[in-house]
């Protein structure tokens, strides 16, 4: 949807629901479509997702955030918010439906177990797969690419990785998952 049209629609929806002092803005979020800021009386839409979504989806996002504004800061996605969402005509779900397009993340990661991970920002520190082991575990270290090119970590990343490796005896198993980095590499 066109961004100017989305802002005009948002303003109309705010006024229709009595939120005359509230503002509508665009932000740079890439994983959430909207945001309700009670402290600033602002409803914000993701510029990236708004451009990808059609008018009906953007309208539903705006109504979702209006329901938050009307329900109050403590309502979350609970029954009070759901009632307001239904009242204003928003689909009372917490997240975007799976068929809605999302921007492609430039950072793609894969753990030794084959789980895929995505990020919109450069990894600044070593990360491990939480699906394989709930704690940081060298056996499940994620390797990254940026738009298909291998990740070239900076000195700080390497320093932190060395610190993690020094904490474990060579070949020692993770106390949580029972695997060592050597066991995963040889599998």
Strand order, beta sheet including 107-110? 116-119, 107-110, 143-146, 149-150
Length of the chain: 187
Question: 120 is written with which tokens?
Answer: 């919109």
Give pLDDT tens digits for 131-172: 999 889 888 999 999 999 999 999 999 999 989 888 877 777
Give pLDDT tens digits for 74-111: 999 999 999 999 999 999 988 888 888 888 899 999 99
Asked if residue 65 lies in contact with residue 85, where contact means CB atoms within 8 angstroms, the answer is no
Query: Domain limits of the chain?
Result: 3-88, 107-186
Residue 27's φ and ψ, nearest 5 degrees, are -130, -175
Superfamily of domain 3-88: Metalloproteases ("zincins"), catalytic domain (3.30.2010.10)
Query: Model pTM?
Result: 0.71
Query: Residue 182 contacts by C-beta under 8 Å, 6 or more apart in sequence?
Result: 171
């Amino acid at each position: 949807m066109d961004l100017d049209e989305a802002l005009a629609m948002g303003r109309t929806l705010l006024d229709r629901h009595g939120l005359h002092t509230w503002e509508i803005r665009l932000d740079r979020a890439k994983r959430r479509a909207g945001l309700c800021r009670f402290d600033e009386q602002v409803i914000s839409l993701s510029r990236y997702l708004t451009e990808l979504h059609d008018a009906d989806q953007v309208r539903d996002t705006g109504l979702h955030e209006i329901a938050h504004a009307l329900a109050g800061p403590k309502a979350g996605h609970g029954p009070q918010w759901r009632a307001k969402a239904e009242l204003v005509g928003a689909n009372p779900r917490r997240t975007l439906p799976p068929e809605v397009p999302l921007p492609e993340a430039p950072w793609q990661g894969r753990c030794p177990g084959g789980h895929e991970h995505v990020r919109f920002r450069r990894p600044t520190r070593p990360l491990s797969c939480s699906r394989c082991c709930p704690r940081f575990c060298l056996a499940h270290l994620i390797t990254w690419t940026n738009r298909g090119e291998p990740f070239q970590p900076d000195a700080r990343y390497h320093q932190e990785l060395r610190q993690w490796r020094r904490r474990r005896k060579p070949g020692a198993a993770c106390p949580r998952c029972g695997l060592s980095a050597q066991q995963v590499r040889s599998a």
